[in-house]
Amino acid sequence: MSKSREEVAAMREEYGSRELRRADLNQDPFVQFEQWFSEARQAEIYEPNAMVLSTIGIDGCPASRTVLLKFFDEEGFVFYTNYGSAKAKEMASVALVSVLFPWLPMERQVRIEGAVEKVSAAESLKYFASRPRESQIGAWVSDQSSVVDSRALLLNKMAELKAKFKGGDVPLPSFWGGYRVRPERIEFWQGGKGRVHDRFLYSRGAELAQHWSIDRLAP
């Protein structure tokens, strides 16, 4: 076994720069998330809106990738993608996902689990119109998750579409839009000394859809 492999077992960072207590938490998980998200931005975490999206593959195997959060409110957490992508097909098959925000420099992570659904065409259009023009054209270029022979082919297609849309607005592709994750569980995790981490799980009540229970979990 190589030395680098052996060294992996010895890699360790000691947590415990802060604690998370029940009294620190807002009763509303969306308010709590907004507070932590704002603190991650203030701490200049690189891409604090980057989240690991996990889906259940059509073959039953889990699949994960990083996407960008683009909006959130009491209705859920929104991201955008190609409707023909692997993740879109997986979400169409099993409309349950998990999302993870790994804010490691702050010794924090937020885990969200729930159902996923497409946002309205109006919502997708509003966000698409706000994107940089090259990103708009990029949405047209990529038949996401399909096999391509070379990067040159993608760049050639990009040039063709730039010429096609020159002088006008780039329309919203019919195969591109947003998804909203409607959470049933949201967990806030704060690293602790000796690996005694602080974990609090918000869960929706079965009878009152707007009621959230909060439980401390063992680390």
Rounded to whole angstroms, how far apart are CA atoms 157 and 146?
Answer: 15
Q: What number of CA atoms fall less than 13 Å from residue 161's CA on the CB side?
A: 20
Residue 41, amino acid: R
195 is catalytic: yes
Which structure tokens are listed for 147?
């096999």
Q: Do the Cβ atoms of 209 and 198 come closer than 8 Å?
A: no
Q: Which of 18, 21, 195, 216 is catalytic?
A: 195
**How deeply is 108 buried, as exposed, middle or buried, from its count of CB atoms within 10 A (0-12, 13-18, 19+)?**
buried
Rounded to whole angstroms, how far apart are CA atoms 188 and 218?
Answer: 12
Catalytic residues, by residue number, are 195
